[in-house]
Amino acid sequence: MKKISCAILFAMLLSGAAVASAADYPDRPIDLVIPYAPGGGADIATTAFKDKVAKIVGQPLISNFKPGAGGATGSAFVAQAKADGYTFLVGSNSPLIIAPLTKKGTGYTLADFTPVCNISAVPLVWCVKEDSPYKTMPEFIQAAKTKKMKYSTYGVLTAAHICMEALGRAAKFQAVHIPYSGASTAMSAALGGHVDIAIASGSAGMAGPGKLRILAIAEDKRLAAYPDVPTLKELGYPVYGLTYFGLWAPKGTPRERIQKVYEAHRKVAEVNGAEIAEILKNVEHTMLVLSPEELGKTYQADFEFQKKMIGEMGALIK
């Protein structure tokens, strides 16, 4: 019987360990870092999935809230976490893409994360007061070419701010940006007549009779909640402002562990999709489960768009 070399034996042992590691994962709770305060869209979307996912993977998924710096605090925490498949970020475009392009000292870039899966998405909406003279988006744009309009968003260099600037460039008008501390206050500004139009992620229940009228959404297709509201794409302006909420792992996390978590979310979406969609509808999110590859491509495309726009706005950090 031939002797097995030490190198071959070592390789066999490593291979066996890898198989065992993949089969045994997870053997303890998984930490989901949510970089926002409890009760928001990210929390609700995560909660809609996590207990059902836990039953599939055999371990609980624990929500760990680390708000601060618009999501950058929690994102930095995960970027520096051990890449073992037990710590994931519930990330979105703003902290993962916009923050590293516009703020110094975030401690991370998009390249420090590995995509796992997307779970939901929410579009930007353009809203005016119901008694506004502008009944459609084309009417607003036409007026904005002759009158200096004021628009509100939930902050400087947010997705809403950048997308409105992109729309202005595409439609050839300039408007005055009035930033507020959040989406609800930005929309309240429009409701109170302090600005001509507000741009925010969802209408937060502020659209309807006697409230705000949605003129357009930044999406590929119309929303079921607002079937009569056109997309900017339909109107001839390819401006997208979809915020994607999904799971991201520290760079270097084993592929088989990422795949296992993604497959569990995909299965939950297949079996419990109608129930989850109804839950997400309350915060104007759409259930959207994307594979690691799909999520990576989506964010790369958004990264290129945001980098270009932020550069044109003169806000790209050196």
Residue 278: which CATH number?
3.40.190.150
Residue 237 dihedral angles phi and psi, to the nearest 5°:
-120, 100
Do 152 and 69 belong together in one domain? no
- How far is residue 234's CA from residue 260's CA, in Å, rounded to a whole number? 38
pLDDT in tens, 236-273: 998 888 899 999 999 999 999 999 999 999 999 999 99
Asked if residue 56 is part of any domain, the answer here is yes
Do 127 and 198 belong together in one domain? yes
Length of the chain: 318
Asked if residue 21 is part of any domain, the answer here is no
Helix (H, G, I), strand (E, B) or coil at 243: strand
Domain that holds residue 144: 123-218
DSSP state of 275: H
Do 111 and 169 belong together in one domain? no
Do 114 and 127 belong together in one domain? no
Asked if residue 6 is part of any domain, the answer here is no
Do 45 and 67 belong together in one domain? yes
pLDDT at 11: 53
Do 96 and 139 belong together in one domain? no
pLDDT at 88: 98
Q: Are 232 and 217 in contact (CB under 8 A)?
A: yes
- How far is residue 95's CA from residue 26's CA, in Å, rounded to a whole number? 27
CA 86 to centroid of chain Cα atoms? 21
Buried b (16+ CB within 10 A) or exposed e, 70-99: bbbbbbbbbbebebebbbbbbbbbbbbbbb
Buried b (16+ CB within 10 A) or exposed e, 201-220: bbbbebbeeeebbbbbbbbe
pLDDT at 17: 45
Asked if residue 15 is part of any domain, the answer here is no
Q: How many domains does the chain have?
A: 2
Do 252 and 109 belong together in one domain? yes
**Degrees to nearest 5, angle at CA 91 with 202 and 55:** 100
Do 85 and 170 belong together in one domain? no
220-223 contact pairs (CB < 8 A, 24+): 223/123, 223/284, 223/286
Helix (H, G, I), strand (E, B) or coil at 176: strand
Confidence band for 204, pLDDT divided at 50, 70 and 90:
low
Do 116 and 36 belong together in one domain? yes
pLDDT in tens, 211-228: 999 999 988 888 877 889
Residues forming beta bridges with residue 123, ordered by sequence position: 242
pLDDT in tens, 31-53: 999 999 999 889 999 999 999 99
Asked if residue 233 is part of any domain, the answer here is no
Asked if residue 5 is part of any domain, the answer here is no
How do 30-34 and 87-91 pair as beta strands?
parallel
Give the residue from 182, 122, 192, 120 showing the smallest Cα distance to 153: 182
Do 130 and 274 belong together in one domain? no
pLDDT at 281: 85
- How far is residue 146's CA from residue 140's CA, in Å, rounded to a whole number? 10
- Could you tell me the pTM of the whole model? 0.87
Cα torsion 192, 98, 41, 225 to 10°: value is 70
> Quick one: average pLDDT of 186-206?
89
Do 193 and 144 belong together in one domain? yes
Asked if residue 92 is part of any domain, the answer here is yes
Confidence check: pLDDT of 78 > 90 = yes
Do 144 and 84 belong together in one domain? no
**By CB neighbour count within 10 A (0-12 exposed, 13-18 middle, 19+ buried), where does 189 fall?**
buried
Domain at 186, CATH number: 3.40.190.10
Confidence check: pLDDT of 164 > 60 = yes
Asked if residue 9 is part of any domain, the answer here is no
pLDDT in tens, 103-137: 999 999 999 999 999 999 998 999 999 999 999 99
- How far is residue 177's CA from residue 179's CA, in Å, rounded to a whole number? 6
